[in-house]
Amino acid sequence: MKRSRADIVREYGPFPEVDAVHGVTFDGRKVWFAAGDHLVSLDPESGRTDRTLTVPAHAGTAFDGRHLYQIAEARIQKIDPESGLVLATIPAPAGGRDSGLAWAEGSLWVGEYRARKIHQIDPDTGAVLRTLETKRFVTGVSWVDSELWHGTWEGDESGLSRIDPGTAEVLEQVDMPAGMVVSGLESNGADLFFCGGATSGKVRAVRRPR
């Protein structure tokens, strides 16, 4: 297993009226992060926030190219990012113990924190299609270039893990510096991961290892 220290490229925040950052996603231009009772968009170039959607946002966030998906307690909301309207809801697979959320291959991928699981689910019905069991607590989940990554946070240790999408074997581990945690995770599709920083109220850009 490859192991390295996280290269923190940039920190964003803390932001006004944001007590904690939970899920994180990227729509190709803006980072969206879950802040409890609202979703906030962040321009990663300027570092400024510019939009807020008033929807419950307690855990993972994802983007499918058109819609946002947001975990709120035991359900997953499908949201129009332009209007902020919730268009549909499906049950979350862990019934409120869900953590991260990602979109890939026409499916949603949902982390289950303490159970150390990642569920692939049907985005229309919430039906579980398959489940991966990992060796670490699962926070955020992200796919990039056929690589499956998830955030980890257990005790004082936190980081990013790349796992085999078939067996869930840990292939690579990136350790965050002491005092920094990963509460949410999303790739920019290239060389960076955006990481939620929980109660620090920050989003951090971490260089993707090569």
**What are the pLDDT digits (tens) for 118-142?**
999 999 999 999 999 998 999 999 9
- Closest CA relative to residue 101, chosen from 131, 71, 66: 71
Alpha carbons 209 and 202: distance in angstroms, whole number: 21
Alpha carbons 185 and 86: distance in angstroms, whole number: 22
- pLDDT, position 9: 97
Contacts of 17 (CB under 8 A, 6+ apart): 35
Instruction: Report percent pLDDT > 90 for the chain.
Output: 96
Q: Is 14 helix (H, G, I), strand (E, B) or coil?
A: coil
Alpha-carbon dihedral angle through residues 11, 178, 40, 190, given to the nearest 10 degrees:
60
Using only C-alpha atoms, the chain has a radius of gyration, in whole angstroms, of 15
Other Cβ atoms less than 10 A from the Cβ of 114: the count is 11
Q: In the predicted model, is pLDDT for residue 210 greater than 90? A: no
Domain 2-207 has CATH 3.40.1280.10: no
Q: In the predicted model, is pLDDT for residue 27 greater than 90? A: yes
- pLDDT, mean over the chain: 97
Burial group, residue 178, by CB count within 10 angstroms (0-12, 13-18, 19+): exposed
Contacts of 44 (CB under 8 A, 6+ apart): 10, 12, 26, 30, 31, 188, 194, 205
Q: In the predicted model, is pLDDT for residue 64 greater than 90? A: yes
H or E stretch including 164?
A: none
Contacts of 2 (CB under 8 A, 6+ apart): 171, 172, 173, 209
Other Cβ atoms less than 10 A from the Cβ of 55: the count is 17
Q: 41 falls in which pLDDT band (50, 70, 90)?
A: very high
Q: What is the mean pLDDT of residues 90-108?
A: 97
Q: 35 falls in which pLDDT band (50, 70, 90)?
A: very high
